[in-house]
């Protein structure tokens, strides 16, 4: 009841605001007062003619002019009265129409008895909404594969959902249709890197280089090129890239966690090789403290990709990590890999609490590795009797 009272008050206020200009009195109507004036003028004309002040012809002309004005006054008075009547009719229609349309619309679209939706429920629904939007976009692109903007829009969605292969393909189509763009080239390079479990493949390196050539000030391709340089053993080039990036840093960039991880790995590898390529990086702002080799556990390609997403929200970060682990697992099962890669997969599963997957990965590794590598692998991950 209170709700409808509020609606009624609002409707009355609205009607008052709408109808007030229609019912407000405008200019005074031309009518009775003008007729009195013109009648007085006619009397004055007759008096002036009788006194000889004006001649007969002048009196006749004056009477004609006054008569003309009197007729016009009558006509304007009639029009004003008609306008006034029409305003009242319009106001009456609005008084009926506005409440009727408002109530009908609210009863059709509104939900006065519907409770509020909790935040958690709305957040849960948002994932479904994204899936529905993605499905609609996929359907449209299936019907119109020539729409480059559609591929450019759907590619980042695939990337956030850890569908790295789909993201790479969507970026490729967008590049083919729209031409090379630094953002699209970098996106495809990231998708290929994440699909490989964090290792930057040669194709991704080429993409990052082209993106950096198009936009020399773009940070993302320079960051991933620095990662690629370190992974390929070009420590001098990696150190130079990180130094350039850190010089322009204000200390708030979301790529700094990746920079610290990469610089620590770079320093460790450089020190082990007896070089000094990374020594100057320790003093760079934002580089963070040097991490001893004992705490690093050796260079780890997947740590680059994991650090790259450290600034993401928790849910997206977890999804990215899960996707990277699955990508590494798929690559090792299809093509095999080194002892370090198998150890990283088993440890990743354990960190994620997926003990059964860790045990299955351990079994696959023992079957895929030779005798020497099996011994190193077993020493690194522990015996099967540890329950994992």
Average model confidence (pLDDT) across the chain: 75
Does some domain include residue 21? Answer: yes
The two tokens of residue 267 are 């320093």
**Which of 274, 308, 342 finishes a domain?**
308
Q: Say how far apart CA 107 and CA 327 lie, in whole Å.
A: 52
The two tokens of residue 101 are 């349309």
The pLDDT of residue 161 is above 90 = no
Mean pLDDT value of segment 4-10: 72
Q: How many domains does the chain have?
A: 3
Answer yes or no: do 289 and 178 share one domain: yes
- Segment 272-278 long-range contacts (CB within 8 Å, at least 24 positions apart): 273/235, 275/235, 277/235, 277/236, 277/238, 277/239, 278/235, 278/238, 278/239
Does some domain include residue 203? Answer: yes
Does some domain include residue 268? Answer: yes
Tell me which of 37-41, 292-296, 374-378 is least confident.
292-296
Answer yes or no: do 301 and 325 share one domain: no
Answer yes or no: do 78 and 102 share one domain: yes
Does some domain include residue 378? Answer: yes
Does some domain include residue 331? Answer: yes
Question: What pLDDT band is residue 22 in, cutting at 50, 70 and 90?
Answer: low
- Domain span at residue 325 reads 314-386
Answer yes or no: do 292 and 348 share one domain: no
pLDDT given for residue 294 in this prediction: 32
Answer yes or no: do 296 and 322 share one domain: no
- Per-residue pLDDT reduced to its tens digit, 314-347: 666 666 677 778 888 888 888 888 888 888 888 8
Sign of the CA dihedral with 8 first, then 10, 13, and 19 last: negative
Does some domain include residue 118? Answer: no
User: What are the DSSP calls for 6-68, one per residue?
Assistant: HHHHHHHHHHHHHHHHHHS--SPPSSHHHHHHHHHHHHHHHHHHHHTSS-HHHHHHHHHHHHH
- Per-residue pLDDT reduced to its tens digit, 257-311: 777 777 777 777 766 655 555 554 544 444 444 333 333 333 344 445 545 555 4
By the 10 Å C-beta count (0-12 exposed, 13-18 middle, 19+ buried), 237 is classed as middle
What letter would DSSP give residue 251? Answer: S
**Which of 284, 308, 332 finishes a domain?**
308
User: How much of the chain exceeds pLDDT 90, in percent?
Assistant: 19
Answer yes or no: do 296 and 185 share one domain: yes
Does some domain include residue 125? Answer: no
pLDDT given for residue 210 in this prediction: 97
Query: Which residues 6+ apart lie within 8 Å of 85 measured at CB?
Result: none
Q: Say how far apart CA 14 and CA 23 lie, in whole Å.
A: 14
Q: What angle do CA 80, 85, 90 make, to 5 degrees?
A: 120
Answer yes or no: do 297 and 226 share one domain: yes
pLDDT given for residue 181 in this prediction: 93
pLDDT given for residue 34 in this prediction: 64
Answer yes or no: do 63 and 157 share one domain: no
Answer yes or no: do 323 and 340 share one domain: yes
Answer yes or no: do 60 and 201 share one domain: no
pLDDT given for residue 12 in this prediction: 76
Q: Say how far apart CA 318 and CA 328 lie, in whole Å.
A: 15
pLDDT given for residue 29 in this prediction: 47
- Per-residue pLDDT reduced to its tens digit, 200-246: 999 999 999 999 999 999 999 999 999 899 888 888 888 888 888 88
Answer yes or no: do 323 and 370 share one domain: yes
Tell me which of 13-27, 135-149, 365-379 is least confident.
13-27
Selection from 327, 352, 310 nearest residue 164 by Cα: 327
Answer yes or no: do 92 and 183 share one domain: no
pLDDT given for residue 30 in this prediction: 46
Q: Which CATH number goes with the domain that contains 196?
A: 1.25.40.10
- Per-residue pLDDT reduced to its tens digit, 104-128: 776 666 655 545 555 555 555 445 5
Q: Say how far apart CA 319 and CA 325 lie, in whole Å.
A: 10
Q: Say how far apart CA 225 and CA 231 lie, in whole Å.
A: 10
Does some domain include residue 115? Answer: no
Q: Which residues of 192-202 are buried (b: 16+ CB within 10 A; e: fewer)?
A: bbbbbbbbbee
How many other CB atoms sit within 10 Å of the CB of residue 333?
13
User: How much of the chain exceeds pLDDT 70, in percent?
Assistant: 66
The answer to whether the beta carbons of residues 236 and 277 sit under 8 Å apart is: yes
């Amino acid at each position: 009841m209170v709700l409808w009272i509020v609606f009624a008050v609002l409707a009355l206020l609205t009607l008052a605001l709408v109808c007030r200009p229609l019912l407000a009195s405008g200019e005074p109507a031309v009518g009775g007062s003008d007729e009195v004036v013109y009648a007085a003028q006619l009397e004055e004309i007759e008096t002036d003619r009788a006194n000889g002040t004006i001649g007969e012809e002048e009196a006749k002309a004056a009477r004609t002019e006054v008569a003309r004005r009197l007729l016009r006054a009558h006509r304007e008075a009639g029009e004003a009265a008609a306008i006034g009547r029409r305003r009242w009719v319009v106001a009456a229609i609005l008084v009926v129409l506005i409440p009727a349309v408002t109530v009908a619309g609210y009863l059709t679209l509104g939900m006065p008895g519907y409770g509020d939706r909790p935040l958690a429920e709305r957040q849960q629904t948002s994932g479904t909404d994204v899936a529905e939007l993605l499905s609609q976009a996929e359907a449209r692109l299936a019907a119109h594969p020539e729409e480059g903007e559609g591929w450019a829009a759907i590619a980042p969605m695939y990337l956030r959902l850890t569908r790295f292969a789909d993201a790479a393909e969507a970026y490729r189509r967008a590049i083919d249709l729209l031409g090379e763009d630094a953002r699209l080239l970098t996106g495809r390079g990231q998708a290929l890197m994440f699909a490989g479990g964090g290792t930057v493949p040669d194709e991704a390196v080429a993409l990052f280089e082209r993106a950096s050539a198009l936009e020399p000030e773009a940070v993302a391709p320079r960051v991933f090129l620095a990662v690629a340089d370190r992974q390929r053993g070009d420590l001098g080039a990696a150190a130079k890239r990180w130094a350039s990036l850190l010089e322009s840093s204000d200390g708030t960039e979301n790529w700094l966690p990746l920079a610290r991880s990469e610089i620590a790995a770079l320093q460790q590898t450089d020190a082990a090789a007896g070089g000094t390529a990374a020594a100057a990086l320790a003093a760079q702002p934002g580089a963070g403290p040097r991490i001893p080799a004992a705490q690093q556990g050796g260079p780890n390609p997947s740590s680059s990709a994991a650090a790259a997403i450290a600034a993401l929200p928790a849910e997206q970060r977890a999804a990215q990590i899960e996707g990277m682990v699955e990508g590494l697992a798929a690559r090792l099962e299809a093509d095999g890999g080194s002892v370090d890669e198998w150890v990283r997969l088993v440890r990743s599963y354990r960190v994620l609490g997926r003990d059964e997957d860790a045990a299955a990965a351990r079994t696959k590794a023992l079957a895929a590795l030779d005798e020497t590598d099996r011994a190193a692998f077993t020493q690194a991950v522990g015996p099967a009797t540890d329950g994992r």
